[in-house]
Amino acid sequence: MNYIYGKFKKRYKRFLVDVLTDDNKLVTAHCTNSGSLKSCLIPDAPVVLSPVKNPNRKTKFTWEMIKIGDTWVGVNTMKANEIAFKLLADKKLKDFEDLTIIKREVKFGNSRIDLYAESKNDKFFIEVKNVTYRHGDYALFPDAKTTRGQKHLTELMKAIDQGYKAAMFFIIQRTDTKIFAPAWNIDPQYATLLQQAYDKGVQIYPIQIQISPQGWQLHKILPFKLEKFNIDSLQDNEN
């Protein structure tokens, strides 16, 4: 990929970011992430853009990642789905090594679930979320209230009732965190539903990815904490 490098200037209208490129041009790029990107909007931080091939798109670049301290953070939510599919296809996740079928965007109930998979004995629905929000050692999701995310958890619980297996893949595209948790301070309803889903049998996989302009690789599966806690009690700041 022939990336464009620059410095982050501002985000506005939710899906637009201004970047000053290394050759001193101010360009506007598309931001695929509909969340707040809390802890990621650092003025003048290094960023990477990918050029767009579609001549009809108004923005000619897509925002891919930003460097926070020494760590690259992947902000492109579409990348999370690609990563999840690739991990399954390449049998990189121990609990999913015997899959025989993997499909994307499969309808279930009133939603389209990101991934559907089958092994000899089981059928899975897997929802994928991109995680960028960091506070202290914690990777947190969501970074903005998500009624869509709540709906997906409800659908996964229905899938469990119908005999399927179900899982949440939280793709953490940064390596400066040590534990995953729902962001009770942002969306307590989502956090409560995630607890309920886990109790019902929805598996949770906080998948930490090491990403950079050179590519990505599986780093580790993080532990997680679902119990409610006060984020103000955590050490360190968000940056």
134/109: higher pLDDT = 134
pLDDT in tens, 129-140: 999 999 999 999
What pLDDT, on the 0 to 100 scale, is given for residue 175?
98
Identify how many contiguous H helices and E strands the chain contains and give both numbers: 3, 15
CATH 2.40.50.580 holds for 4-74? yes
Q: Where are the domains of the chain?
A: 4-74, 77-233
First to last CA, the chain: 28
pLDDT in tens, 30-54: 999 999 999 999 999 999 999 998 8
Binned at pLDDT 50, 70 and 90, residue 109 comes out as: confident
CA dihedral 116, 118, 124, 129 (to 10 degrees): -40
CATH architecture classification, 77-233: 3-Layer(aba) Sandwich (3.40)
pTM of the model: 0.94
